[in-house]
Every structure is written in C-alpha cells, then in structure tokens.
Amino acid sequence: MDLLARWKRTHPDFLDPTHPEPEGFYFVMNLPDLALEFLDVFPGLLQGVNPEGFPHFKLPRVFCYCFVKGENKEQFAREKAEGILGSRLGDDAVIRTVRNVSPNKHMMRVNFTLSRETLFGTSGEEVVEPEAKSEPKPAEAEPPEKRVKKQ
C-alpha cells in the first residue's frame, strides 16, 4: 500500500470541506543551506482550487531554516525569503537566530503563515521580484563540436 493511500485510510477527513475543524498544516524546511530555495513551490500551489470550497481551511505555517552572513541577519533572511517566495511575508512573520555557526555565519529560522493569495495564486498582494538565477548549461545542450571530450 502506498503512503498516500495509507494516509487517506487513517485520515478520512483530510481536506474535507465539511469537517468542522481541520488540522493545520506545517512545513518544516530544515536544510539551512538550501531550504529558502524551495519556497518557490508555494506561489500558486493550489491554483485552480476554489478557496470558497474550504471555508475552515487553516493556512499553513512555514518554518524555514537558513544560513546568513553579515550584520543585518534578520533583514537579509526576510529579503531573501520574500524574493524567492515572490511576495511579502505577513505581519505574523518571526525571524530568529537559532545559533552562530561561525563568527560571521548564523543559522536563522524564518517562520510565517502562507497567505491565501500566495497559495491560491490570486492577486492582491505586492509581488517582490526574485533574484535572477543563472542555470548552468548541461554538456548535452551544447553543439557536439563545442563539447569537451573525456579521455
């Protein structure tokens, strides 16, 4: 039996709109070196789903651990999270220092609730442009005459 089938069997009220008090969802992203990069999956995650069909749906809470360097560590963590998420963090956002990894490197936890606008892909939220990323080209994408031959 696969994991999803087992979950449905043991949690029959999972996302049932008639369930009076559904459980909340939490996303714990504990890969401090990479976790912020995965925030880009949340915008529009439930796009196409009618939010009115889930009146008791509690918005998920995200706990995202990351490393930062420099003086303004809380501001840097917030700006980086907002840039990747593509929207501003809400007023309930909490950014805390977890520990000092080295003299100039800190582990931080960015804790916030995902907004309905972000999850369902609706407008009304100020969008923050994410930082431009340059993806390295795989060797197969280059023409055969430019590929480096392995010996």
pLDDT over 90 at 138, yes or no: no
The pLDDT, as a whole number, for residue 61 is 93
Among 8-12, 118-122, 128-132, name the one with the lowest average pLDDT. 128-132
Which pLDDT band holds residue 18 (cuts at 50, 70, 90)?
Answer: low
Express as a percent the part of the chain with pLDDT over 70.
Answer: 66
Tens digits of residue pLDDT in 31-82? 999 999 999 999 988 888 887 777 777 889 999 999 999 889 999 999 999 9
Q: How confident is the model at residue 103 (pLDDT cuts 50, 70, 90)?
A: confident
- pLDDT, residue 127, reads 43
Q: What percent of the chain has pLDDT over 90?
A: 43
Backbone phi and psi for residue 97, each to the nearest 5 degrees, phi listed first? -80, 130
Strand 26-29, strand 61-69: pairing:
parallel
Q: Name the CA radius of gyration of the chain, rounded.
A: 20
Q: What is the pLDDT of residue 22?
A: 52
pTM, 2 dp: 0.65
Helix (H) / strand (E) element for 3: namely helix 3-10
Average pLDDT over residues 24-33: 89
d(CA 88, CA 83): 8
Per-residue pLDDT at 133 exceeds 60? no
pLDDT exceeds cutoff 90 at 88: yes
Are 117 and 76 a contacting pair, CB within 8 Å?
Answer: no
Gap between the Cα atoms of 90 and 87, Å rounded: 9
| Contact by Cβ (8 Å): 120, 135 | no
Beta bridge partner(s), residue 94: 111
